[in-house]
Amino acid sequence: MKELKDNLESLPVDIKLRAVDRLKIHLMRQKYGYFSRLCLLLALIGPGILVMIADNDAGGVITYAQTGALFGIGFFIPFMVIMLPVAYIVQEMTVRLGAVTHRGHAEMIWKRYGKFWGAFSLIDLVIANVLTLITEFIGITLGMQVFGMPPLVSSVMAIVVIASIQLFLRYFAWEWISLSIAAFNLIFVPLVFFVPHLHWGAVERSFTSWHIPGGIHSLFIYVVLANLGTTIAPWMLFFQQSSVVDKGLTVKDIRDGQIDTFIGSLFMVIVAIAIILITAGTVYGITNSANLDIQTILSAIYAKISPLAMRLFALGLVEAGLIAAIAISASTSWAMGEAFGWPKSINMPPLQGWKFYLPGIISLLIAGGIVLIPNAPLGFLNLTVQVIATIFMPAAMMFLLLLLNDKDIMGEHSNKLWQNILAFTIVGFLIIMNGIYGLTVVFPHIFGR
């Protein structure tokens, strides 16, 4: 026993703190019964729900809102349902990879495939994360303006809140605070029941008809690709794997990690469908412009449902930006720590883990500052983030599949044949669609006007 205690003393502080949480899990696992099992599941869920809810970020909310406003409920309701298995299959692989290797995605790429691909992935991730954070701050400041808060105040407040919960909370508390914020993502769901003249029969029929208003044209392709890009993003792979590692999940926890990922995927799709239904019932038919802005959508909700509904929608937009900013800044910190061998745990005290926290906080300061610059080229920045994600996504996916098929590191947990068939089909489809998305961003009229 003394030897065990001496060994524990020699371990870094983050591992010691994680051991306390893991001991609780170990004790829970010793007990049988439905209640004990539920307690164990509740203790183990987190990374999957967080990543999926954070994926419904400010940009995602705006994309879904525009989708409903432009195309109604015809095609995109069944399309979003199909996104559930797509998101689940991709993200589930990160659970197994993290639980088996106990290392993040950035570290595995860097160490398994060399410095070039490691640096390529890290640079892409960090740039894309900073640019995506700008879109989150746009959502936060726009949403808070509805409540009369100036952008300067809302931006500073968001930076302080996000930095504080990262710096001063341990992983366990950080996760539960983040999940509590994420719960507000469901604010869009009850709003659906106040949409006037929403015909549930039409929603039901959409699954058999897959009706595309106006047929297939360039705007439709653009919206399909934007929804696809919103569902799966490179930072999600890095975030969930690092989160699984920081939480300390092991191979015994894989099943719970899979349940966590499924619950997250389900919430993500329910919220996405709710947003599409809200704008399909309030804005659809008003305009067919691709440049439909969020203020127009908020005004339509104000007029067609109620001022309270508009405020709740704005609050949802703020929450979406906030939870995504928490997740994205954490993924930047984890990736930098993993790549350079720095501390890489939210369990680290601020002074001991300053190298870990610094990249995430710098990215928050850059993004929070850029949205305050008058006449900042936000459209150009949004275009750049799409282009970087387009180039980066196939690389991140390819490394994920290579690692999941690497028997030397994954052993019995490597992908089975059926998992590979599904994963390669999804990845192949995503690569093609990402390529087309890249083309449409660079050449907007490639599929006609």
Partner 1 sequence: MKIEDRISKKINLDEDWEDFIKEEGLIDYNKIPVQKAQINGWVRTAFWFLRIYILVMIVLVIVGFARIH
Binding site for partner 1 (CB under 8 A): 1, 4, 7-8, 11-12, 15, 19, 22-23, 26-27, 30-33, 102-103, 107-108, 111-114, 248, 250, 341, 387, 390-391, 394-395, 398, 402, 406, 408-409, 431, 435, 438-439, 441-443
Q: How many helices (H) and strands (E) does the chain have?
A: 21, 0
Q: What is the chain's length?
A: 449
Provide the minimum distance between the beta carbon of 340 and partner 1 in the complex, in angstroms, as a whole number: 11
C-alpha separations of 247 from 44, 78, 353 in Å: 8, 34, 17
Find the shortest distance in angstroms from Cβ 229 to partner 1: 14
Query: Smallest distance, Å, CB 102 to partner 1?
Result: 5
Closest separation between CB of residue 117 and partner 1, Å? 8
Considering beta carbons, is residue 170 or 311 the nearer one to partner 1?
A: 170
Q: Nearest distance from residue 449's CB to partner 1, in Å?
A: 16
Q: Which is nearer to partner 1, 7 or 375 (CB)?
A: 7
d(CA 366, CA 332): 13
Would you say 265 and 91 are in contact if contact means Cβ atoms under 8 Å apart?
A: yes
Neighbours of 207 (CB within 10 A): 10
CB of 18 to partner 1, least distance (A): 9
DSSP SS3 for 18 = helix
What amino acid occupies position 429?
A: F
Is the CB of 12 or the CB of 213 nearer to partner 1? 12
CB nearer to partner 1: pick between 312 and 400? 400
What distance in Å separates the CA atoms of residue 392 and residue 380, rounded to the nearest whole number? 18
SS (H, E, C) 93-114: HHHHHHHHHCCCHHHHHHHHHC
Cβ proximity to partner 1: between 193 and 443 the closer is 443
Comparison of 102 and 199: residue with beta carbon closer to partner 1: 102
DSSP 416: P
Query: Among residues 214 and 444, whose Cβ is nearest to partner 1?
Result: 444
Compute the CA torsion angle 290, 397, 388, 363 (nearest 10 deg): 110
Q: Residue-wise over 227-252: b if at least 16 C-beta within 10 A, else e?
A: bbbbbbbbbbbbbbbbbbbbbbbeee
| Smallest gap from residue 31 Cβ to partner 1 (A) | 6
What is the C-alpha to C-alpha distance for residues 291 and 354, in angstroms, rounded to an integer? 42
Tell me the C-alpha distance between 269 and 256, whole Å.
20
